[in-house]
Structure 1
Amino acid sequence: MKKALLCAALLAASMTHAAPLEWRGISLSSAEWGDKLPFPGVYGKDFVYPSVASTAYYQAQGMNVMRVGFRWERLQPVLMGELDPAELARLREFVNGTTARGLFVLLDPHNYAAYKDVSIGKPEVPIAAFADFWQRLALQFKGNAKVQFGLVNEPRNLPTETWGQAAQAAIDAIRATGATNLITVPGNGYTGAWSWFESTWYGTPNAEVMGKVHDPLDNMVFEVHQYFDKDGSGTAPECVSPQIGVERLKRFTAWLKQNKRRAILGELGGGANAVCEQAVNGALQHLQANADVWAGWLWWAGGPMWGDYFLSLEPTADGKDRPQMRWLKPYLKD
């Protein structure tokens, strides 16, 4: 154990000389909660937006992007309909207050490419409805250059071809509003970096489809997620090995270089133990070593409702850092 900790410390120390990537931050989760309760749920009990004040902690650590999750159905209760004024006001309060602090906000409809559990592309949820949603949302925030548009969280349960078409339709709808904001584009099958080339369970591999998605303004990055537990789900605190961080990213990195594209690691995390520390350090070192194609990363997760969740970076009740924050600090500051 002591040897493992020493190796991790030496690895982190070796990276302190490298400039941090352009984007480094955290996913603030809580406004998308409550989907299994009678919908839309009770605000302040079933779901709540993170406070603007809570972002000060992360900003002080050197983070500059707050990814905020919310539900498409709460923001747009009727497909192709107007955005809900109350929910939009909650989102706007967080966005305006956070960007006024100098931080960027990555909008995250945390819906898995579905609306009320019906996948985009089904007759009930046509691709046009997804494009309509993004057109309306872009019109609300296009005037704020510090707002970034994450198309949706972790698409699943639909053909990759359908998701590629939906992503392109959303990008086109966003750009039709005149918005020039950064767009992050996930792949199908939970957008795992390690499964970008998978062909056995979610359909046509992302590697064959997503490279065709394009932005006329060339201001988009792919968003992939990667965890280091056995099944890559991020649900277990144990990581497979100290090297697993690099192993699960390097093939996708090569794909980016080959296709002259860029990406952000939109979710990563690991339990508070020495093996995960080395895995996370290895992953972040890999990103910095390939800054030509990697734009940044975001830890999963923070937010006011997590309690003692093993991946939460929220400071403890007595104001102390979580162990994982120590791992991240060398990658946050100049």
Structure 2
Amino acid sequence: MTLRQLAAASLLALCTQAATAAGPLPWRGISLSSAEWGEKLPFPGIYGKDFVYPSVDSTAYYQAEGMNVMRIAFRWERLQPTLMGEFDAAELARLRAFVDGTSARGLHVLLDPHNYAAYQDQHIGKPEVPIAAFSDFWRRLALQFKDNPKVQFGLVNEPRNMPTEVWAEAAQAAVDAIRATGATNLITLPGNGYTGAWSWFETGWYGTPNAEVMGRVRDPLDHMVFEVHQYLDKDGSGTNAECVSATIGVERLRRFTAWLKANKRRAILGEVGGGANPVCEQAVRGALKHLEDNADVWDGWLWWAGGPTWGDYFLSLEPGADGKDKPQMRWLAPFLKRP
């Protein structure tokens, strides 16, 4: 083989390695929302009317598209009606039926207490909801699901309205309680202030920046990743179908990615979404390409949202009554590994 041929072969090998490295990330999924609904009604509400769990069968659609993790939202208060008390048998049975049935299909399930780090609107760390109550909740939940390796533990959805230092203390207590049960499941750790990737460094509106505090939380098993959310509309709330620009996804993730690298930590993008228009398509694809290009610190992503009760919600990926895919599913196809 000549030097030119050797160089060409080496270049081909490098390109092949690069293409392989840029393939789909380990976790690709969706947040299924409906079991946490009815939070404005007197708890616990009426099952089948105020809230409902997605069916196990409904996950087959997402699995066929190449998703491998379902994030299931539910309410802490429904599962544990009294702080430090036993779980409600009926609610636990509903959650377990979904988890066991879905994981039996070969899918992973990310548990999502969709509570914003609060219990009945009282935030963790206040006298009404001491940190010990949050760690007790996670001790009990870990004991229920620790023997299923396909279950992942998301500590809570989008902490807010509390000092970042208090949230970090509560998160550490929950991690310690989980590991004390012998559970080895993956844990996902959100930051304060709705855990926005773009606001990880901001000062003022939610307290001390996550970038200065959340790195203190440690898992003795080192089997924990940060969970950030990122929407692409003007205020980053995900309530507007229009995205700021075609490049806003990359722009809002780039600095957090650098923080992960500098701190030798990993993350998943636990919520992302955009309306069905060309600008959002480019923005979402850019964001997911950024994750794949930085697979040394990013482990995956989950679309917001799916679930049986969304109707014509502009971010829902549930197929329509005609069985057709939503436009956004086409955007995600290059980032999904079909079974």
For Structure 1 versus Structure 2, the TM-score category normalised by the shorter chain is over 0.9
* Correspondent of 1:172 among 154, 176, 189: 176
Q: Does 1:320 align with 2:324?
A: yes
Please say which of residues 16-25 and 220-229 is displaced more in the overlay: 16-25
Does structure 1 retain, via aligned residues, the 8 Å contact 2:25–2:299?
yes
Q: Does 1:20 align with 2:24?
A: yes
- Which one-letter code corresponds to 1:297 in the other structure? W
Instruction: Name 1:75's counterpart in structure 2.
Output: 79
What percentage of aligned pairs have identical amino acids?
A: 83
2:317 is paired with a residue whose SS is coil
- Kindly state the Cα deviation for residue 17 of structure 1 after the two structures are TM-superposed: 9.1
* Correspondent of 1:54 among 33, 55, 58: 58
Higher RCO, 1 vs 2 (CA within 8 Å, ≥6 residues apart): 1
Q: Does 1:97 align with 2:87?
A: no
- 2: CA distance, partners of 1:18 / 1:214: 28
Cα RMSD of the aligned pairs, angstroms, is: 1.2
Query: Which structure's CA Rg is the greater one?
Result: 2
Does structure 2 retain, via aligned residues, the 8 Å contact 1:225–1:265?
yes
Instruction: Name 2:232's counterpart in structure 1.
Output: 228
Does structure 2 retain, via aligned residues, the 8 Å contact 1:16–1:330?
no
5+ unaligned residues in a row in structure 2: which ranges?
1-18
- 2: CA distance, partners of 1:24 / 1:16: 17
- Kindly state the Cα deviation for residue 16 of structure 1 after the two structures are TM-superposed: 10
- 2: CA distance, partners of 1:18 / 1:308: 34
2:49 is paired with a residue whose SS is coil
Instruction: Name 1:189's counterpart in structure 2.
Output: 193
Instruction: Name 1:11's counterpart in structure 2.
Output: none
- 2: CA distance, partners of 1:287 / 1:38: 41
- Which one-letter code corresponds to 1:309 in the other structure? Y
- 2: CA distance, partners of 1:243 / 1:60: 29
- Kindly state the Cα deviation for residue 37 of structure 1 after the two structures are TM-superposed: 1.1
5+ unaligned residues in a row in structure 1: which ranges?
1-14
TM-score scaled to structure 2, two decimals?
Answer: 0.93
* Correspondent of 1:200 among 195, 200, 204: 204
- Kindly state the Cα deviation for residue 90 of structure 1 after the two structures are TM-superposed: 0.1
TM-score scaled to structure 1, two decimals?
Answer: 0.95
Q: Does 1:148 align with 2:152?
A: yes
Does structure 2 retain, via aligned residues, the 8 Å contact 1:25–1:64?
yes
- Which one-letter code corresponds to 1:96 in the other structure? D
Query: 1:58-99: CA deviations, max 9, x gaps?
Result: 000000000000000000000000011000000000000000
1:1-334 to 2 correspondence within 5 Å? 18-333=22-337
- 1: CA distance, partners of 2:138 / 2:108: 19
